Amino acid sequence: MGYVAVKGGSDAIAASLAAVERKRLERGLTLDLARIQAGLRPLLDQVMSEASLVDEQAAALAVKQAQGSPEEAVFFLRAHRSTLPRLHTTATLDTASMLLERRISATFKDVPGGQILGASVDYLHRLLRFELMNETDADAAHAAASILPTEAAPSPADLTAPRVSDVLRREGLLPDVPPDPTEPADVTTMSLSIPAPRSARLQVLTRGQTGTVTSLGYASLRGYGPMLHPTVGELRVGWLPVEVADPMADSDDEDERYHVGHVQATEVETFVPVHETSADGQDRLRFDIGYGFCFGQNETKAIAMSLLDRTLETPGAAAVHDEEFVLLHVDSVESSGFISHLKLPHYVTFQSELQAVRDTQREREGDAS
Amino acid sequence: MKHPFAFLDEGSKREIRRAAFKAVCIPGYQVPFASREMPIARGWGTGGLQLTLALIGPQDTLKVIDQGTDESVNAVNIRRLVHATTGVQTTHHTADATLIQSRHRVPDRPLSAKQILVLQVPIPEPLRRVEPREHVTRKRHAEADYTAAYLALFERVLKYGSASAGADHPVMVAGRHVMAPSPIPRLDNEKLHRAEHLTLLGAGREKKIYAVPPHTEVHSLAFDDVPFEVESFGDQACSTCGTTGVFLDEFDDGDGGTLYRCNDTSECLARLNAQGAPL
């Protein structure tokens, strides 16, 4: 019998993982998926949006395993997505047919279709409600019974409304844009090349880390960007019917499509004033539209995304106009992964650098003497 | 619900293999691919892992090393994942492996034509240090314009008197593409030159796959009058097996002195056993 390898690494990892599991369970309490789905909706929405996978149950499991860390939960869901074959592509979603839960416009008080405040925390006082510290399921059921809409009230889910931008277009206030039938890019099946088509940019932004997209959007407003105050033409939150063409049919007949369910989404159109100099040297102002779309209710992110959509469409010196800067750095899995890899051993590279440093120092000392 | 064999769905594996084929056809050229999200973090070897999972079959024997060691925590972790999702045999012995995934080292023992080496790559673009924009570096490669790469080396010579800058020293592959060999020590660059084995390099976060096929010319960038130099450990030998001329790790001997040991631990062990180990 000869020498055998030390199993140090294997043992250390096993012990470390056991410690993680013990920390998760040591208080003898576990998180029920139903409770996560019931009580952590904004977190699930954020995670599904960044993961680009709408599966509430899988997202709840990811949140449970991640112990509430959005970064980790997105990581779990993205990895899960890599195991799933792509079976179908849905028919193009028409967001004008969105069943609205909420729809506001900052442009006109009297917007066609009406302002629907829906469920929003915009006007919530952020005061800790200490009475909730001991809230029981019975309390929750009792309180909910007094809040839920009665049968007489209209269900908001039946509502649709024309897009504000379509109304303005009909009045000639926004330029008419013909639909672009080009097949959109898919950055998950093809590697992103720069300059990227707008569809790829929008896809990267909608998958972007909420905080990063928000911060970059904020920077563009505050001073590192065009600094033109945009107006939220429309923000809508609601449910979109998802349909898939009959895979056996020769042509995509709308009546032959299969309805596979609804997804909740947030859609934003911001109107951005743009200076324009016409051929005769006249300065003019017109509106351009910035577009934001996220799965779930993610309003800040969707608005920030619409700002970045605009800045990426226009040239400028600030970083928010730079496609590579924005698109290659907003992904949660990529940024957190590369930052955290700095914790990995770098013995070999460091040894090699150490050698180079010592050599040059020796050489310099040699030069001096 | 069960995870598929080798984790990835078959469509993804096929795409990764196609990218690898293209990479073999154009040695040193970075083939873009739609990198999948993996159950380990980006930057922790997901490019190498995707290649490994796309290539591996039930008959393969896998070896995973990180920083020269099979027992480095990240090597253990990757080996655990591949084993858990495939059930293939794993080994520490370089000679027994059909597939070797490695971070930052080419094994000391020369590999055979029946072995594939998969290297994990953090930054696949050798021109990135001199040009941050991807669309510009792609153009430079297309036009074989490597002025900036040589200029960076020249500046190094001026500043520090040597063209050798640590690990990941750029190489010219098949006389056409300048390539980042991944952060392997300069000593390992030479092991890629006219090798018997295929080397595949995968960068998961940067979404690139590239290759050095067997018997390909690989030359480290240098100048005629300032030649390329590998790391030198002087006359230091491994304090365990006594070998010289290999990449060594430095250890504190506890008395203010320095001890050296082979960085490639499984090879060190093999040499030790070949010498006739006690017991």
Whether residue B250 sits in one domain with residue B216: no
Poorest-pLDDT segment among B82-96, B154-168, B216-230: B154-168
Q: If DSSP states are collapsed to H, E and C, what string results for chain B?
A: CCCCCCCCCHHHHHHHHHHHHHHHHCCCCCEECCCCCCCCCCCCCHHHHHHHHHHCCCCCEEEEEECCECCCHHHHHHHHHHHHHHCCEECCCHHHCCEEEEECCCCCCCCCCCCEEEEECCCCCCCCCCCCCHHHHHHHHHCCCCHHHHHHHHHHHHHHCCCCCCCCCCEEECCCEEECCCCCCHHHHHHHCCCCCEEEEEECCCCEEEEECCCCCEEECCCCCCCCCCCCCCCCCCCCCCCCCCCEEEEECCCCCEEEEECCHHHHHHHHHHCCCCC
Whether residue B175 sits in one domain with residue B202: yes
Whether residue B114 sits in one domain with residue B69: yes
Q: Residue B15 above 80 pLDDT?
A: yes
Respond yes or no: is residue B262 known to be catalytic.
yes
Contact A345 B73 (CB under 8 A): yes
Backbone angles phi, psi at B196, to 5 degrees: -75, -30
Whether residue B267 sits in one domain with residue B215: no
CA dihedral A79, A80, A82, A87 (to 10 degrees): -160
| Domain boundaries, position B242 | 232-279
Q: What is the distance in angstroms between the Cα of A123 and the nearest Cα belonging to chain B?
A: 38
A82, A194, A337: residue with CB nearest B135:
A194
Which residues are CB-contacts of A305 (< 8 A; sequence separation ≥ 6)?
Answer: A202, A205, A206, A208, A213, A217, A268, A291, A292, A293, A294
Whether residue B264 sits in one domain with residue B216: no
Q: Mean pLDDT over all residues of chain B?
A: 92
CA distance B173 to B126: 12
The whole-number pLDDT of residue A157 equals 53
The whole-number pLDDT of residue A135 equals 94
CA distance B74 to A22: 22
Share of chain A above pLDDT 90, in %: 51
**Mutation to test the A interface, candidates B29, B37, B40, B65, most A Cβ within 10 Å:** B37
| Residue range B18-38, pLDDT digits in tens | 999 999 999 999 999 999 989
Whether residue B161 sits in one domain with residue B45: yes
Provide the token pair at B196: 């018997």
Whole-number CA gyration radius for chain B: 19
Whether residue B151 sits in one domain with residue B279: no
The whole-number pLDDT of residue A153 equals 47
A195, A328, A349: residue with CB nearest B104:
A349
Bridge partner list, B62: B90, B99
Respond yes or no: is residue B241 known to be catalytic.
yes
Whether residue B99 sits in one domain with residue B199: yes
Report yes or no: B207 and B35 within 8 Å, Cβ to Cβ: yes
Provide the token pair at A33: 């998926």
- Please tell me if residue A10 touches chain B, with a CB cutoff of 8 Å: yes
Provide the token pair at A349: 């590279």
B11, B105, B273: residue with CB nearest A3:
B273
Contact A337 B46 (CB under 8 A): yes
Poorest-pLDDT segment among A26-40, A47-61, A187-201: A187-201
Residue of A nearest to B10 (CA): A85
Q: CA A243: distance to chain centroid?
A: 22
| Residue range A128-173, pLDDT digits in tens | 999 999 999 999 988 888 886 655 444 555 688 888 888 888 877 7
Whether residue B89 sits in one domain with residue B180: yes
DSSP 3-state of A269: strand
CA distance A236 to A269: 9
Parallel, antiparallel or unpaired: strands B171-173 and B258-262: unpaired
B12, B36, B44: residue with CB nearest A341:
B44
Tell whether B225 is covered by a domain. Answer: no
The whole-number pLDDT of residue A367 equals 62
Whether residue B206 sits in one domain with residue B85: yes
CA-closest candidate to residue A268, choices A204, A186, A205, A325:
A205
Tell whether B4 is covered by a domain. Answer: no
DSSP 3-state of A69: coil
CA distance B197 to B95: 12
Contact B164 A356 (CB under 8 A): yes
Report yes or no: A235 and A266 within 8 Å, Cβ to Cβ: yes
CA distance B10 to B1: 17
Whole-number CA gyration radius for chain A: 26
- Please tell me if residue A119 touches chain B, with a CB cutoff of 8 Å: no
CA dihedral A218, A222, A223, A225 (to 10 degrees): 40
Query: From its phi and psi, is residue A296 left (phi > 0), alpha (psi between -120 and 50) or beta?
Result: left
Contact A347 B249 (CB under 8 A): yes
A84, A191, A359: residue with CB nearest B33:
A191
Bridge partner list, A270: A232, A290
CA distance A68 to A71: 9
Provide the token pair at B203: 């960068």
Backbone angles phi, psi at B218, to 5 degrees: -130, 115
Respond yes or no: is residue B25 known to be catalytic.
no
Q: Residue B54 above 70 pLDDT?
A: yes
Contact A193 B32 (CB under 8 A): yes
pTM attached to this predicted model: 0.83
Backbone angles phi, psi at B13, to 5 degrees: -60, -40
CA distance B37 to A81: 8
Q: What is the distance in angstroms between the Cα of B43 and the nearest Cα belonging to chain A?
A: 5
Tell whether B226 is covered by a domain. Answer: no
Which residues are CB-contacts of B194 (< 8 A; sequence separation ≥ 6)?
Answer: B215, B216, B217, B218
Provide the token pair at B63: 């070896």
Contact B166 A189 (CB under 8 A): no
- Please tell me if residue A11 touches chain B, with a CB cutoff of 8 Å: no
Bridge partner list, A274: A286
Mean pLDDT of all residues in A31-60: 96
CA-closest candidate to residue A163, choices A288, A302, A297, A269:
A269
Share of chain B above pLDDT 70, in %: 99
A5, A83, A194: residue with CB nearest B7:
A83
Report yes or no: B61 and B257 within 8 Å, Cβ to Cβ: no
Contact A345 B75 (CB under 8 A): no
Instruction: Please name the residues between 250 and 309 in chain A that touch chain B, using a CB distance below 8 Å.
Output: none
| Residue range A58-98, pLDDT digits in tens | 999 999 999 999 999 999 999 999 999 888 889 888 888 89
Mean pLDDT of all residues in B156-166: 81
Query: Which residue among the candidates B68, B241, B256, B257 is catalytic per the annotation?
Result: B241
Mean pLDDT of all residues in B101-122: 96
CA-closest candidate to residue B79, choices B40, B111, B107, B113:
B40
Report yes or no: B272 and B261 within 8 Å, Cβ to Cβ: no
Tell whether B227 is covered by a domain. Answer: no
Instruction: Please name the residues between 27 and 86 in chain A that touch chain B, using a CB distance below 8 Å.
Output: 75-76, 78-79, 81-86
CATH classification at residue B105: 3.40.50.11310
Whether residue B121 sits in one domain with residue B72: yes
The whole-number pLDDT of residue A198 equals 94
A chain contacts of residue B71, beta-carbon cutoff 8 Å: 5-10
- Please tell me if residue A363 touches chain B, with a CB cutoff of 8 Å: yes
CA distance B62 to A317: 49
Whether residue B90 sits in one domain with residue B48: yes
**A·B CB contacts under 8 A:** 175
Query: From its phi and psi, is residue A125 left (phi > 0), alpha (psi between -120 and 50) or beta?
Result: beta
Omega of the bond leading into A195 within 30 degrees of 0 (cis): yes
Q: What is the distance in angstroms between the Cα of A17 and the nearest Cα belonging to chain B?
A: 11
Which residues are CB-contacts of A290 (< 8 A; sequence separation ≥ 6)?
Answer: A230, A268, A269, A270, A272, A306, A307, A308, A309, A310
Count of domains for chain B: 2
| Residue range A91-124, pLDDT digits in tens | 888 888 899 999 999 888 788 888 888 888 888 8
| Residue range B236-256, pLDDT digits in tens | 899 999 999 999 988 888 888
Taking each helix axis as running N to C, give the angle between helix A210-222 and helix A41-51, from 0 to 180 degrees, rounded to the nearest 10. Answer: 90
A chain contacts of residue B132, beta-carbon cutoff 8 Å: 324
| Residue range A247-261, pLDDT digits in tens | 887 777 777 889 999
CA distance A332 to A340: 12
Tell whether B204 is covered by a domain. Answer: yes
Mean pLDDT of all residues in B135-140: 93
Q: Residue A280 above 90 pLDDT?
A: no
Q: Mean pLDDT over all residues of chain A?
A: 87
Respond yes or no: is residue B238 known to be catalytic.
yes
Tell whether B246 is covered by a domain. Answer: yes
